[in-house]
Amino acid sequence: MSNKKYPTSDWAKWAESISILKTDFVSLMTKREIWRALKNAYEKNSNYQIKQEAHQIIDWINRNYVDSMLIGLRRIIDTSKDTVSLIKLLEEISKNPTVITFDRYQTLWTSGSEQVNRMRATEVFKRFSKDNRNLDVNIIKNDIRELKESNERFINIVNHHIAHKGKDADNPPLTYEELHAAFDKIAGILNEYHALLTTVRVLNFAALLPVPIENIENMFSKMIFTDINTNDEYA
C-alpha cells in the first residue's frame, strides 16, 4: 500500500492493517452466509428420509463451521506478538492519537465537493472525538475494553475446546446465536475504524459474495436433495 495517499507513514500502516482485517472478515462472512444457505436448504426440504441420511454430514459440516469461525475470530482479536489483530491495532492508535486529526482525515475525502467531503468526514470522525478535531483516547480504550471483555469467554472456548481439545471439546461450547452475535459486534467495531482509517465503511458484507445467496441455497438443494440416478429432487 502506498504511503502517498495517507498523511503519515503510521496512518498508512494502520490503513493496511485494517484492510487485512477486513479481508479476513469478508472470508468469515462468506463462510457464515454459505453455512446459512446450507441450513436453509436442509430445513426447507420436507423429505424425512433423505434428511436423516444427510444428518451426519450436516452435523460434521456444522462442527467444522463453528471451529473455523471461532478460530478465525480469535485470530482477528488476538493479542499475540507478530500478529495483525484489531485489538493490537486499536492499542497502537490509542498510544499515538495525535497521528489522526480531523484536518488530516478530511484530506482523504476527495470524491465530492469540498462541502460534501467535509460533511462526510465529520460524520465519521465524530464517533471518535469529543471536540471534532482530535481523537479521544478514552473512546478508543472503551472499544478495546469492549472487545476484550465481551470476547473473554469466546477466546477461552477456542483455547480450551478447540485449540487444545479439552475433555469437554465434543460438547457444543456456545450457540449459533452467540457465535453470530460475537461476529456482528466485532464486525461493527472493525467497520467504524475502517471508515476512520480509509474513509470506506462496508455497509453490507453479504453484498461482497461472488454470487447471490439464493443461488448458493439452490445449489445446495440440488447437491444434497437430488437423486443422482434420476436427477429428480427429493421433495
Query: pLDDT in tens for each of the 235 residues of the chain?
Result: 444 589 999 999 999 999 999 988 888 988 998 898 888 888 887 777 777 777 888 889 998 998 899 888 888 888 777 788 999 999 999 999 999 999 999 999 998 899 999 999 999 999 999 999 999 999 999 999 999 886 777 777 776 666 555 555 454 567 889 889 888 889 999 999 999 999 998 756 555 566 666 677 777 777 666 654 444 544 4
Query: Residue 9 has what pLDDT?
Result: 95
Which region, left, alpha or beta, applies to residue 109 given φ > 0 means left and ψ of -120 to 50 means alpha? Answer: beta
Cα separation, 194 vs 102, whole angstroms: 15
The SS3 call for residue 211 is coil
Cα separation, 227 vs 35, whole angstroms: 22
Provide the CB-side half-sphere exposure for 138 (13 A, CA).
Answer: 3
Query: Residue 206 has what pLDDT?
Result: 58
CA distances, 177 to each of 22, 32, 147, 183, 201 (Å)? 22, 12, 18, 10, 24
Cα separation, 125 vs 132, whole angstroms: 7
Query: Residue 13 has what pLDDT?
Result: 96
142 touches 128 (CB < 8 A) = no
Cα separation, 144 vs 85, whole angstroms: 11
Name every residue whose Cβ is closer than 8 Å to that of residue 141 and which is 6 or more positions away in sequence: 94
Helix (H), strand (E) at residue 224: helix 213-224
Query: Residue 205 has what pLDDT?
Result: 56
